[in-house]
Amino acid sequence: MQAGKQQFIVAMAAAILAAVPLVSAADPGDPPTSSQTSNESSKRALATGVWTSADGAVVTYEASFFEVYTIVSAADMLRWVPGGAALLPDNRRRGRGPDKRGFGSSGDQILINGKRISGKSNDITSAMQRIQASIVARIEVIRGTTAGLDVRSEGTLINIVLTEDASGGSGSWQAHSGFYGESPEYDGLISYSNTAGKLNYLISAELGPYNRGGRQDRFEEFFTPDTNTLFEQRDIERPELEQQLILNTSGNWSFDNGDVLNLNARFADKEKEETETTIVTIVGNPDTEKLLNVSREDGLDWEIGGDLENRIGSNGTLKTRLIYSNKTNDESESVSLSSTIPGNVPSKSLVLSDSLATESIVRSSYSWPLTGNQNLELGLEGAKNTLDKKVRLFEVLADGSLAPIDVFNSDSDIEENRYEFFSTHFWQLREDIALESALNFEYSKIEQSGVDIDNA
C-alpha cells in the first residue's frame, strides 16, 4: 500500500516594529559601523550601568549594573533584567528536550553574541547556568526587529554579549540536597570556562535534576449514590525518583579572516522509577486486595552539533549549522494484583518497550545588504527524523515464567524527511521604524513500516 504524508506549508509574515540595528549581532570584535557609532553617541542613561538607545528599542545592562547583586551565572543576571527570567523555559524539572522538528526560523528568544545555541537538547536555561557571570560583558534587551539575528523576534529578544579579553579560566559549582520521602538525594552542577589562543571553551557536569522526586500519600473513600453509605476504602502510596547525569562541552574558534566555528556536544544518562501501591478494603470484609504498579525508565541521549559562519566578500555572510542527535529509551511496567482471600492466585502482567529516535539537521543561509538600509537572507534546511519502537506484553505465570501476548503493530519504524526554504527581508524605513517580511515554504513526507502496518 502506497501512502505517506506530504505536507506543504507556505507562510508569509510582515511586521512594522520599532527597532534599531543590533550592536552585537555581528561578532563582538567587529569594528563599529556608522549606525552603531551613531547609536553609541545618542544613547541615554537610565540608571547606573543601564542605558537605552535614542528610540528606546534597545536597553543595555552593563556588567557593572549587576555588581550589587549576588550573581554567579548568566541565569542569575537575567533574574535582575525585567522580563529576562520569563524567557527562560521551565523545562529543567523533567529534563524534557524540544519536540520540534528541525530548527525553523523561530526559537528561544535568548541569544549569545547574536546567535542561538548550536544544539537542541541543550536548552537555553541550562546554557545560561553554565555561563559564568564574569565573562558577560553586557545584556541587551531588544524590542522589535533587527537584521542579522539567528532567530525571528516574537516581540522581545535578549542578547548575551560575552567578553573577548577574559584572562584566565573561571568556574563555579552549585550543590543541592533534597529529601523526597525515602532518603536524601544530592544534586549539583560544576562548570569551567577558559580560553586557549583563539579557542574559547566551556565544560560542565550536572547531576540531578533539582527537585527530582516526590512522594504522594492518598486516602480515598467510596460511598453509594443512593444512601451515601461507605462501602470501599483505598490507601495509595506513590514514591517517585529520577536521576540524570549530564555532560556538556562547547567551544568556538575565531579565524584570522573573520570566520567563526562553534562546536557543541552533550551526553545524558537518565533513570526514573515510580512505584504505586494501592490497598483496597471492602467495608465489613477483613480481606484486602493489593495492586502494585512498578514502572522504570532508562534513557541515554547524546548530541553533537556545530555551525560555521563565513564572511563572503565585503558584506555577505554564509551561515551553516549541522546537528545529529541519538536518543535511546527502555521502559518496563509491571502490574500485579494479590489478595488476602484464602486460595487467591495472584495475577501479574509485564510491558516492555524500547525506542531509538534520531535526528539529522542541516541548515544554511546567506545574507547580504541590498542597500544601506535593506538586508536580505535566503536559506534552506533539511531534516531527517527516525523512530524505531518495539512493545512487548507478557503474562507472568504462577511459576514465574513469561507468556507473550500478541500486540497489534508492536514493532514499527517511522521516518520523516523534511525540507524548508526560507527568506527574510529587513528594511530600516526610518531611525525608529523597521519593516521585516518573511517567506517560508515547507515540504515533508512521513512513512511508517511495521509488522502490521506498512505505509512506505
Q: Where are the domains of the chain?
A: 5-450
The residue assigned the cell 527516525 is 386
Percent of the chain with pLDDT over 90: 36
Q: Looking at residues 146-161, what average pLDDT do you find?
A: 71
pLDDT of amino acid 431:
75
pLDDT of amino acid 121:
59
pLDDT tens digit sequence for 22-33:
333 334 444 333
Position 181 confidence tier, pLDDT thresholds 50, 70, 90: low
Q: Looking at residues 350-379, what average pLDDT do you find?
A: 93
Q: What are 199's strand-pairing partners?
A: 196, 253
Best-predicted range by mean pLDDT (53-62, 97-106, 143-152, 349-358): 349-358
Q: How far is CA 239 from the centre of its chain?
A: 27
Residue, of 96 and 219, whose pLDDT is higher: 219
Element (H, E) at 78: helix 74-78
Residue, of 212 and 210, whose pLDDT is higher: 212
Q: Is the pLDDT of residue 149 over 90?
A: no
Three-state SS letters, 170-220: EEEEEEEEEECCCCEEEEEEEEEEEEECCEEEEEEEEEECCCCEEEEEEEE
Amino acid at 29: G
Position 108 confidence tier, pLDDT thresholds 50, 70, 90: low
Amino acid at 426: F
Q: Looking at residues 274-284, what average pLDDT do you find?
A: 93
pLDDT tens digit sequence for 285-314:
888 999 999 999 999 999 999 999 898 877
Q: From CA 175, how far away is CA 207, in angstroms rounded?
A: 9
Q: Under DSSP, is residue 75 helix (H, G, I), strand (E, B) or coil?
A: helix
Position 37 confidence tier, pLDDT thresholds 50, 70, 90: very low
pLDDT of amino acid 11:
38
* Cβ neighbours, 10 Å, residue 243: 16
pLDDT of amino acid 94:
39
Q: How far is CA 90 from the centre of its chain?
A: 10
pLDDT of amino acid 440:
92
